A and B are shown apart, each in its own frame.
Chain A
């Protein structure tokens, strides 16, 4: 008994020893599918400690005491783990391994044709950081101001909006958390571009499509601006801001369990003081004054679900006079009162089996009250014979409701399918009062119902395709449209890729030209875009060529008192190429980008006598944006230069035969140099109870004369340049926040 135990023990011991002696060397090379070595790959015998790491040439070698049939596991970050059976015997085994890349957002090709993204996501299209929106000197803290420094957008300064690739501002639509925004800008004022209503700090992601956008969006012939609002804040905080123009105060509360937050802020802006110092072209009897109030809540409804509400209310007014161009010695008065509510509620949640749901509703109520009068030099209303039509009142009331629901199913890799439905309702009531008190009322209701579906297919990390289809029905036109969209991207090498996009886009005639005496159709545009992009080591180069064909543009004529759409006989096209170069590398802590656009476009629409290059399209547009942070001074120096070649201008008149040119020409080239300094004295002070930012901004620092176009007297005899309200503008402000370091957030937080 005792003996046998001993024997067994001995046997076990000798087996163990034998095992130690009989080591087998396993070696080989680990490569990817393109035969490049994978340094750092981990090789192991499953379930054992034995294994090794591939060197810079992908070679590995290790010894093992394991025997017989085993599993060799090879893994590395960014690759699919590979397992293979291996029979361990003899002295040396050579085993080469080929690994497949994991399809991931980080490495996969991106469908980026026509798309600029400003977000923290590491993607080829994300060539801007969210902070770039507010640190671009010429932007004045406005979202579209920053986007105007990118290729594709025009430097139009006499009216608000994004004019993209030969398209009008109305051809660009804005979406917040998936749903359409109806009054993104403050209400239009003649010849003065208005700012966007929303602070750039409420958005964490911005996608600016200059064409070829996805089937998820519609009703925009040229461009889509897609904004995503921020989620929960990092911390509760309060903030205050002062400047000669405005005061603001806000509070954000984050719940203790960090699952919900709410907040509100209020600002009052009055430009009286600024206009007293910086002479304006207009003479203000009521300087622009704005009360803005917003409120929000955000609730994490589960680990993956998020419910967000953002509400906005604004009440603002202004009134000014200009020396009348129509009658010497008299004044033209323009007065505007506006109130606007906007509410947006969105919810997203992961469902079972890789399904995800996105829903959102938004409601807007907008009211504009406009008064136009002739006045004498004592600013008393007068009625001049032959110019009676210049005395009128206009009241616009708009109610807009949008709803969207979408389901998404994630497939293997990054592939996915999405489909959903959208409903847009608009109700516009316009009341026009003429000089003898006659009132004309228009009432316009529209329901647009849409269905859409799209699929993303990632064949490998190197090839991606997107195909989509959108179907819309308009109750006003009583017509349907079907719009296909398609894009493809191919990875050419490390950091470089080529992509193509094609799509058909429909848009209803602008409501300002409705109602029409005739039956109208959708306007239509077809986009073709080809892009090449290379992005390595903090440097990005991108170039695009495009062709856009317009069909069924709206033609207008005088119907009653107003210009109204009469048919869809308009047409046009736009073609061009664009470059973008961004470099954060060459000069340390200095960041700059250059963009250039060439545009060749002609169209016949509205009251154009025939196809011409429209007055909002410059042939050459370029921008240089620079950013420099000097640590020692705790100061940010941002400068930008914008250029556009002279745009054409026209005076279109009407006689018995129809519309004709009374005058035409080309305005001088446009140059603008802007400069901004932000001083952040408390940056980095961890225990600081408050955080202050001081901002100094100067636009058109060299006082260059800028001409946007010309306006003509009613009889066409006199003409006057349309210029900015002041040549140079200086802005000074201080912002203080308590509780959390929101330095980035407070820069430029007014205007």
Chain B
């Protein structure tokens, strides 16, 4: 009887644990799948909030923190004025960059800095630069570049590294070293890496295919 009870309680425990991790797995899979289809700043914010809730409930998983930081940055990037002017947008970018940095720090503590966290680090620096490009390109630009180099060093076959590099090339005016042709080569490199790319798990970062397809479609 005693033995039975122990077995019972143990199995109940495993049941609940596996139910919990199944629940985590389930919701993460559903939300991660949304990344390639999310378009508006509001939708990114909603997704960011969702990942943050999961992160705070779990406390030990790096991925939801990573995704929360990523989604916050995406939301702010899309909130910037689209007229191409180099104004002072730091009121939009800086609070979000601060928030994303805190979330990313937690991801790095739990999951160790890796190629994916470096990619988001690069995105945060770029976001800050966009806050006041004329005044900050000398300070935030090199930070973004350094983070991207680390991401490449950690995994030269991570296609997202080349997407970020390609986007910079694409959007930077030619006089400042941008080049649509060079960007195309990088997008194509990302595409060919995606052909053989296998994410570490069903919820590991796998975003970027839609972006590559979108940008390459602009060349046709």
Interface of A toward B, CB cutoff 8 Å: 1, 4-5, 8, 12, 16, 39-40, 42, 44, 47-53, 55-56, 77-78, 106, 120, 122, 129-131, 234-235, 538, 584-585, 588-589, 629, 631-632, 634, 683-686, 741-744
Q: Which residues of A contact B175 (CB under 8 A)?
A: 631-632, 634, 683-684
**CB distance A49 to B57 under 8 Å?**
yes
Q: Contacts of A130 on B, CB cut-off 8 Å?
A: 135
Q: How far is the CA of A52 from the CA of B49 in the complex (A)?
A: 7
Binds A, one of B86-94, B152-160, B191-199, B208-216: B86-94
Do A40 and B134 have beta carbons less than 8 Å apart? no
Kindly list chain B residues whose C-beta atoms are within 8 Å of the C-beta of A56.
Answer: 42
Provide the residues of chain A in CB contact with B85, threshold 8 Å: 584-585, 588-589
Asked if B27 and A49 make an inter-chain contact with CB atoms under 8 angstroms apart, the answer reads yes
CB of A589 within 8 A of CB of B53, answer: no
Q: In the assembled complex, which residues on chain B have CB atoms less than 8 Å from the CB atom of A683? A: 175-176
Q: By the criterion CB–CB under 8 Å, are A588 and B84 in contact?
A: yes
Could you tell me the distance in whole angstroms from the C-beta of B177 to the nearest C-beta in chain A?
A: 4
- Please give 11 more A-B residue pairs, beta carbons under 8 A apart, in addition to A53-B42, A106-B91: A42-B49, A51-B49, A53-B45, A77-B99, A129-B134, A538-B87, A584-B85, A588-B84, A683-B176, A684-B178, A743-B138
A53 touches B49 (CB 8 A): yes
Give the contacting residue for A106; candidates B8, B56, B95; CB below 8 A: B95
Contact A8 B50 (CB under 8 A): no
Q: A1-B4, A122-B91 are in contact. Are A49 and B176 (CB under 8 A)?
A: no
Q: Is the CB of B135 within 8 A of A120?
A: yes
Docked complex Cα distance between A55 and B90 (Å): 23
Whether B78 is near chain A, meaning CB under 8 Å from some CB there, is no
Instruction: Contacts A42-B49, A130-B135, A131-B135 given; indicate if A77 touches B95 (C-beta within 8 A).
Output: yes
Known: A51-B53, A632-B175. A131 touches B19 (CB 8 A): no
Q: Are B57 and A47 in contact, CB atoms less than 8 angstroms apart?
A: yes
| B43 nearest in chain A by CB position | A53
Shortest 6 CB-CB distances between A and B: which pairs? Answer: A684-B176, A684-B177, A42-B49, A53-B46, A40-B45, A44-B53
**A742–B173 CA distance with the chains assembled, in angstroms:** 19
Given contacts A5-B8, A16-B19, A77-B99, contact A48 B176 (CB under 8 A): no
A120: which B residues are within 8 A, CB to CB? Answer: 132, 135-136
- Residues of chain B with a CB closer than 8 A to A235's CB: 142
Instruction: Give the docked Cα–Cα distance between A145 and B178 (Å).
Output: 35
Given A5-B8, A53-B45, also A42-B86 (CB < 8 A): no
A51: which B residues are within 8 A, CB to CB? 49-50, 53
A235 to B56, CA, bound (A): 38
Chain B positions 82 through 120: 1 when the CB is less than 8 Å from some CB of chain A, otherwise 0: 011111101100111011000000000000000000000
Q: Considering the chains assembled together, what is the distance between the CA atoms of A203 and B15 in angstroms?
A: 63
Nearest residue, chain B, Cβ from A587: B85
Within 8 A of A (CB), among B169-206: 172-173, 175-178
Complex Cα distance, B197 from A485, in Å, reads 66
19 A-B pairs with C-beta separation under 8 A: A42-B52, A44-B49, A49-B54, A51-B49, A52-B46, A53-B42, A53-B50, A55-B42, A106-B91, A122-B88, A122-B91, A235-B142, A584-B85, A584-B87, A588-B84, A589-B85, A632-B175, A683-B176, A684-B176
State the Cβ distance, B213 to closest chain A Cβ, in Å.
27
Residue from B27, B96, B135 within 8 A of A77 (CB atoms): B96
A589–B172 Cα distance when bound, in Å, is: 15
B83 in contact with A122 (CB, 8 Å):
no
> Which listed residue (B57, B84, B90) contacts A48, Cβ 8 A?
B57
Q: Looking across the interface, which residue of chain A has its beta carbon closest to that of B47?
A: A53
Q: Interface size of B by Cβ–Cβ distance < 8 Å?
A: 45
Indicate whether B12 reaches chain A with its CB closer than 8 angstroms: yes
CA distance A106 to B7 in the complex (A): 58
What's the nearest-Cβ distance from chain B to residue A673, in Å?
25
- CB-CB under 8 A from B8, the residues of chain A are 5, 8
User: Which residues does chain B contribute within 8 Å of A52, judged by CB atoms?
Assistant: 46, 49
Residue in B4, B94, B177 whose beta carbon sits within 8 Å of that of A686 in the complex: B177
By secondary structure, the A interface counts as loop
Complex CA–CA separation, A1 to B7 (angstroms): 11
Closest B residue by C-beta to A135: B134
Return the chain A residue nearest B90 by Cβ: A122
Closest partner residue, chain B, to A686 (CB atom): B177
- B60 / chain A contacts, CB cutoff of 8 Å: none
Least CB distance from B164 to A in Å reads 15
**B218 interface residue (CB < 8 Å to A):** no
- Residues on the A chain within 8 Å of B54, using CB: 49
Which chain B residue shows the least CB distance to A584? B87
Closest B residue to A121 by beta carbon equals: B90
Q: Are B135 and A684 in contact (CB-based, < 8 A)?
A: no
Contacts of B86 in A (CB 8 A): 589
A588 to B54, CA, bound (A): 43
CA distance in complex: A235, B175 (Å): 23
**Which residues of chain B are within 8 angstroms of A634 by Cβ–Cβ distance?**
175
Alpha-carbon distance A619/B8, docked complex (angstroms): 93
Tell me which residues across on chain A come within 8 A of B98, comparing CB atoms.
77
Whole-angstrom distance from the CB of A18 to the nearest CB of chain B? 14
Interface flag for B139 (CB, 8 Å): yes
Contacting residue for A131 out of B12, B46, B52, B134, CB 8 A: B134
Q: Given the complex, which residues of A lie within 8 Å of B4, measured CB to CB?
A: 1, 4-5
Bound complex: CA of A48 vs CA of B59, how far in Å? 11
A741 with B87, Cβ < 8 A, contacts A47-B57, A77-B96 known: no
How far is B144's CA from A234's CA once the two chains are assembled, in angstroms?
13
A12 to B83, CA, bound (A): 58
Q: How close is B121's CB to chain A, nearest CB, in angstroms?
A: 16
Contact A78/B1 with A42-B49, A634-B175 known, Cβ cut-off 8 Å:
no
In the docked arrangement, what's the CA distance between A585 and B45, Å?
Answer: 27
Q: How far is the CB of B62 from chain A (nearest CB, A)?
A: 17
* CB within 8 Å for A584 and B27 given contacts A47-B57, A131-B134, A683-B175: no
Q: Measured between alpha carbons, how far is A106 from B131 in the docked complex, in Å?
A: 13
Check A12 against B52 for contact (C-beta < 8 Å).
Answer: no
Q: Tell me if A234 and B57 are in contact (CB < 8 A).
A: no
The answer for the CA separation of A129 and B136 in the assembled complex, in Å, is 10
User: Smallest CB-CB separation from A688: which chain B residue?
Assistant: B177
Chain B residues lying within 8 Å of A742, measured Cβ to Cβ, are: 138
A44 to B7, CA, bound (A): 35
Note all chain B residues with C-beta closer than 8 A to A234: 138-139, 142
- Nearest B residue to A119 via CB reads B135
CB-based contact B132/A49 at 8 Å: no
Q: Which residue of A lies closest to B173 (CB)?
A: A631
Contacts of B12 in A (CB 8 A): 8, 12
CB-CB < 8 A to B142: which residues of A?
Answer: 234-235
A78 in contact with B139 (CB, 8 Å): no
Q: How far apart sit A5 and B19, CA to CA, in the bound complex (Å)?
A: 18
In angstroms, Cα B85 to Cα A77, docked, is 25
Centre residue among B53, B87, B98, B173 by max chain A CB count within 10 A: B53
Most interface-central of B4, B8, B45 (chain A CB within 10 A): B45
Are A684 and B172 in contact (CB-based, < 8 A)?
A: yes
B176 is contacted by which of A47, A122, A631 (Cβ under 8 Å)? A631
Residues in chain B near residue A122, CB distance under 8 A: 88, 90-91, 94
* A234–B49 alpha-carbon span in the complex (Å): 35
Q: Which residues of B contact A47 (CB under 8 A)?
A: 56-57
By a CB distance below 8 angstroms, the chain A residues around B96 are 77
CA–CA, A391 and B166, complex, Å: 73
**Distance, CA A8 to CA B138, complexed state (A):** 66
Q: Which of A77, A589, A685 has the most CB of B within 10 A?
A: A77
Residue on A nearest B9 in the bound complex, by CB: A8
Question: A96 → chain B, closest Cβ, in Å?
Answer: 18
A49 to B83, CA, bound (A): 38
A122-B94, A684-B175 in contact; A588/B134 too (CB < 8 A)?
no
- Chain B residues lying within 8 Å of A632, measured Cβ to Cβ, are 175
Specify the chain B residue showing the minimal Cβ separation from A744.
B138
The smallest beta-carbon distance between B96 and chain A, in angstroms, is: 6
Inter-chain contacts of A50 with B (CB < 8 A): 53
In the complex, which residues of chain B have a beta carbon less than 8 angstroms from the beta carbon of A42? Answer: 49, 52-53
Closest chain-B Cβ to A59's Cβ sits at a distance in Å of 13
